Structure 1
Amino acid sequence: MHELRIGVVGCGQRAPVAALANRPGTARVVSCADPSARGRADARALFGPDAALRADHRDMLGDGLDAVFVLTPDDLHTGPVLDFLDAGVAVFVEKPLAITLADCDRMLERARATGTRLYVGHNLRHLPVLRRMRELIDEGAIGRVRAVWCRHFVGHGGDFYFKDWHAERARTGGLLLQKGAHDLDVIHWLADGYSRGVTALGDLAVYGASERRTAPAPADPDGTAPRMPDWYDPGLWPPTALRGLNPVVDVEDVSMMLTRLDNGVLTSYQQCHFTPDYWRNYTVIGDEGRMENFGDGVDDDRAEIRVWNTRRSGYRADADLVERTAPMGGGGHGGADGALVAEFLRFAAEGGRTDTSPVAAREAVAAGLAATESLRAGGTPVRVPAPDPALARYFAGHQREPRPGPPPPA
């Protein structure tokens, strides 16, 4: 195998994940594109003096790439993804796949039509605590899954999502999609099903005060806007003290959704951007027990899984099974980023099965969009559209067209 030639489109907040692809003998980042001088300077610092720097991703199409990371803001994924799929370059696209279902389906259809490999960066499927929870489910630790609940305490939400484009419906659709795509994908994965009906409620409860918004932040001469690390202040408390919010804030900062999956499992997802703590708590309830995580390991800390599955009781902290997971080496999110990139590089080179799924990524977007529609209509139930069955079959076959079976018996 030759060393894969890797490109990177969008050298902003998530660009360090692509730096994990620099693996001598396996892959090397050789070309980057970003419309801003700051982005190109960051690419030079991340990827070294030999990487070609472009202002337009289309100028990378002649760089002999084997694979590309598309790490632009969410609403700018579609154009680069389609261009590289057409060119036969394997694509890693950051989650969420897109902010409209139409764009998601265009990407899936183009990947199938061209036969080019498509991979979506749902890194939580590689997070140690969640992988172990999935293994315990498969081992029958709680019987048949009947309900999954997720509470996402987004303690730094004001800094992360309400001081730039993330606060705008036009750029994200809403935070049940932009932030929630992670968790909705995990809920679907743990429950082994996809949302088909949803109802939701939400509000802009804290970050909607107009007096705390600001004029657009001054950009660099080339138009580069400031980024989250430029203003991040984890010591600021309470959230009502936050100033300098984006001029447009029209996404909800607290949301709650209920879904019924296609296999009958019921799920709930709650997301709040003004809690004092920042972590995810998943509860999975089966017909023979319950499991829950305490700590999630995202910030390289240890996490614990507790399982209650031997008897009835009142409240008891002494679970029947307690397992602790530790971060993996290599990259952020408790090592999940490193594992994600390793899987993509193997997939780009060899194809085959992956723990992530473009169809699952599309289903997370579909659920997030439907929930957002519901909460903005006062909780009206909304149907979640399923993907084209032919596309679902194609990606279930690991992006290879099914081969004809044997002829029927005479």
Structure 2
Amino acid sequence: MGRGASAGEEATVTELRVGVVGVGARSPLAALAESSPVPARLVAAADPANDRHQRARRFLPAGVEVVSDYRELAEAGRSGLDAVVVTTPDDTHEEVACAFLRAGVPVYLEKPLAVSLKGADRVLEVARRSGTRLYVGHNMRHMAVVRLLKDVVDRGEIGEPKAVWCRHFVGNGGDYYFRDWHAERARTTGLLLQKAAHDIDVIHWIAGSTTRRVVGMGDLMVYGAGERRPHGASPGTVMGDWFSHDHWPPDALTGLNPVIDVEDLSMVLMTLRNGVMASYQQCHFTPDYWRSYTVIGTRGRAENFGDGAGGVVRVWTRRSGYSEHGSAEYPITEEGTGHDSADQRTMDEFLRFVRDGGSTQTSPVGARDAVATGALATESLRSGSVPRDVPRVEERVAAYFEGGQRRG
């Protein structure tokens, strides 16, 4: 498939030419194209930062052409790209993705799809109108712990699912989210969208439905009182420049972002369209960093202990008092860390989708539903926890993506 190819076109290629927009901490994701079983090469990058060439040498393979304006890569007849990976800050996702979709370049868009429901719907509509393939990087659908939990549910081991709970202990929250643009509502909407989009998508996927109504609660409880650096002062180029496990305890951190107006503790209750009840809790000042999922069905429950290699998923299907190991225990096995191994799987799936079409485990509509839930939960949180109803995606849009992004 050459540049400008639409979802209905097929061609034989020896090597896909891939570009990346945003040369930062997540840009090495694009370099995984070169280790995919689908032949591909990273050939171009765009970033407006003055140190973009230094960043490229740091994060990308040698020989990648680097420009300052992503529109140079999107312009018709210039890029020769077969696909592009967008790893820019969240508030730019909508515009950058739409530019490439209109130019006919298939897009891998890092989550979240956008920072508002309106923006997410716009990206989907542009993809539908253009017929250009869109893939959203909800890589947690490829994480071993999530796939294991879903397998337990799908084979009926705990009966029909009725409740899903997720507790997210974000032990690295101070360094990950409160030293740069992630701490600003204007750039993210809030961490119930930015950070929780992954877990909301997982909850929807495991439960087999999407959210109908939300109630949110939360506050800025710790980092709001932290010492902030002056406006204009930079903490470094990317998160890796300032991250350290020595940055503890949270209430003693210094050098935080000048603007902090997102919550560091937040919760949302969800009623799904199929009747499943779900909850999600997120705390950015815990000492440990992992996710705990519990799925309760009509005939048992499943819960993970650890969320990467070496952890387990335990299942209880018989009545008892406290039982540490339950009725069955399944090891979580994977190569590398959950995030890293899932990144390679998502890149492989994206490149295969660009080349061959077909179905994907990730879902642009699912990504939209995660944004819708997170955005409206944040709205509820900031308006006295008044419930918010979550609208469905338009039927024509849903049909287009359910049909494998093929234009009728």
Q: TM-score range by the shorter chain?
A: over 0.9
What is aligned with 2:10? none
Match of 2:90 among 74, 77, 82: 74
Counterparts of 1:49 and 1:322 in 2: how far apart (Å)?
Answer: 45
TM-score normalized by the length of structure 2: 0.93
What is aligned with 2:24? 12
Counterparts of 1:353 and 1:65 in 2: how far apart (Å)?
Answer: 22
What is aligned with 1:56? 69
What is aligned with 1:312? 319
Would you say 1:326 and 2:341 are equivalent positions?
no
Structure 2 counterpart of 1:370, which letter?
L
* Cα deviations by residue, 1:281-303 (Å, 9 ceiling, x for unpaired): 00000001000000011xxx422
Contact 2:27–2:60 under 8 Å retained in 1: no
Match of 1:212 among 227, 235, 238: 227
Counterparts of 2:350 and 2:210 in 1: how far apart (Å)?
Answer: 24
Counterparts of 2:57 and 2:355 in 1: how far apart (Å)?
Answer: 25
What is aligned with 1:262? 273
| Cα displacement (A) at 1:334 | 4.9
| Cα displacement (A) at 1:363 | 0.2
Counterparts of 1:47 and 1:246 in 2: how far apart (Å)?
Answer: 27
Unaligned runs of 5+ in 2: 1-12
Would you say 1:240 and 2:256 are equivalent positions?
no
Structure 1 counterpart of 2:249, which letter?
P
Unaligned runs of 5+ in 1: 403-410
What is aligned with 1:406? none
Contact 2:210–2:369 under 8 Å retained in 1: yes
| Cα displacement (A) at 1:385 | 1.4
Structure 2 counterpart of 1:294, which letter?
F
Contact 1:7–1:30 under 8 Å retained in 2: yes
Contact 2:23–2:59 under 8 Å retained in 1: no
Match of 2:403 among 374, 397, 401: 397
The DSSP-based 3-state class of the residue aligned with 1:255 is: strand
Contact 2:24–2:59 under 8 Å retained in 1: no
Match of 1:381 among 362, 384, 387: 387
Contact 1:327–1:334 under 8 Å retained in 2: no
Q: Percent identity?
A: 55
What is aligned with 1:280? 291
Q: Residues 340 and 348 from structure 1, CA distance in 2 versus in 1: closer, same or farther, beyond 3 angstroms?
A: same
Contact 2:94–2:114 under 8 Å retained in 1: yes
* Cα deviations by residue, 1:222-272 (Å, 9 ceiling, x for unpaired): xx9632222212123221111111111110000111010111100000000
Contact 2:164–2:295 under 8 Å retained in 1: yes
Contact 2:84–2:106 under 8 Å retained in 1: yes
What is aligned with 1:335? 341
| Cα displacement (A) at 1:40 | 2.9
Structure 1 counterpart of 2:365, which letter?
V
| Cα displacement (A) at 1:179 | 0.3
Equivalent positions of 1:149-298 (< 5 A) are 149-209=165-225, 212-216=227-231, 218-219=233-234, 226-297=237-308
Equivalent positions of 1:100-111 (< 5 A) are 100-111=116-127
TM-score normalized by the length of structure 1: 0.93
What is aligned with 2:351? 345
Q: Residues 372 and 96 from structure 1, CA distance in 2 versus in 1: closer, same or farther, beyond 3 angstroms?
A: same
| Cα displacement (A) at 1:156 | 0.7
Counterparts of 2:229 and 2:261 in 1: how far apart (Å)?
Answer: 14
Contact 1:217–1:226 under 8 Å retained in 2: no
Structure 2 counterpart of 1:213, which letter?
R
Contact 1:33–1:55 under 8 Å retained in 2: yes
Contact 1:134–1:190 under 8 Å retained in 2: yes
Structure 1 counterpart of 2:282, which letter?
Q
Would you say 1:94 and 2:110 are equivalent positions?
yes
What is aligned with 1:370? 376
Counterparts of 1:317 and 1:356 in 2: how far apart (Å)?
Answer: 33
Structure 2 counterpart of 1:167, which letter?
A
What is aligned with 2:41? 28
What is aligned with 2:5? none
Structure 2 counterpart of 1:375, which letter?
L
Counterparts of 1:87 and 1:36 in 2: how far apart (Å)?
Answer: 24
| Cα displacement (A) at 1:100 | 1.1
Structure 2 counterpart of 1:295, which letter?
G
| Cα displacement (A) at 1:141 | 0.6
The DSSP-based 3-state class of the residue aligned with 2:386 is: coil
Structure 1 counterpart of 2:55, which letter?
D
The DSSP-based 3-state class of the residue aligned with 1:347 is: helix
What is aligned with 1:355? 361
Contact 2:144–2:338 under 8 Å retained in 1: no
